[in-house]
Each structure stands twice: as C-alpha cells, then as structure tokens.
Amino acid sequence: MASKPKKLSVAKAVAKNRTGLTFGNRLILPFHAHLILVRVAMHYSSAASGGAVISDLSPQSKAASATQTSYGTELYLFKYNDLKEEFGRHKARVLLQVVEIDADIFKLSAHKTLECTFRDDLPEVRFQLADEAK
C-alpha cells in the first residue's frame, strides 16, 4: 500500500529544490498553496502584446484554473498548448503569486512571488523566490 503524500509548503519546496512537472497546458506544483495570480511575460514580444496577468483561477475561468490535490497544486493555463515548448529556453518569465495554505491570505506580507523556470527538453519546472531569481 502506498503511503499518503506528505503535504509540502512553498518554503520547504523551494528550500529543498523540489521540481514541478508540466504536461501540455498543465503545471503540477510540488507544494500546497493558494494561488493569487499568474504573470506571464513573453521575452520575444513587445510588452503590449506579450504579457498576461491572470487573477481568475476559478474552474469557470477561460484563462486558467487551479486546484488542490493530495500531492500539491495543479494549474491549467488554457491559453497555451504546451508550456514547456512555449516557456522553455527562457522564452517567457512566469511568476506565481502564492500564499501558504496556513497563512493569512489577507496579509500582503504573507504573499510570495515565485519565478518558474521551464525546460523545453524535459517536463521539469524549477521554482525560486522572485527576489532570489535576479
């Protein structure tokens, strides 16, 4: 019998260099968190046409949807067909604004921004705090 997956916080996942996975337009995050918004900035296009800020992550959204699972958090970005192809090789900067599950979502100091680094040769995604990404 398989053991129940251990719930991992954002801080622990980042500290342990845990990676996520991507398949098609689905991003599987190795931690449990409230997703506040997603920012996508395409490096190869102008700021006027290449960026997106997605704050509606509900199941009814046409842009994106986020759900909690036993092993982490899943994010679907419906505008994109293949995240590793479209965001790999530094083609885009993808930032997730998150709050730990047990934190007060109304305290802005609890909000963290994570930068996602996609590969185009593997379905692997790395995460780091945006302040440390520079």
- List the helix and strand counts (H, then E) for the chain: 3, 9
Identify the DSSP state of 6. P
Instruction: Give the count of beta carbons closer than 10 Å to the beta carbon of residue 116.
Output: 24
> Residue 133: is its pLDDT beyond 60?
no
In tens, the pLDDT along 84-118 reads 999 988 788 899 999 999 999 999 999 999 999 99
Segment 19-36 mean pLDDT: 96
User: Taking the complete model, does pTM exceed 0.75, yes or no?
Assistant: yes
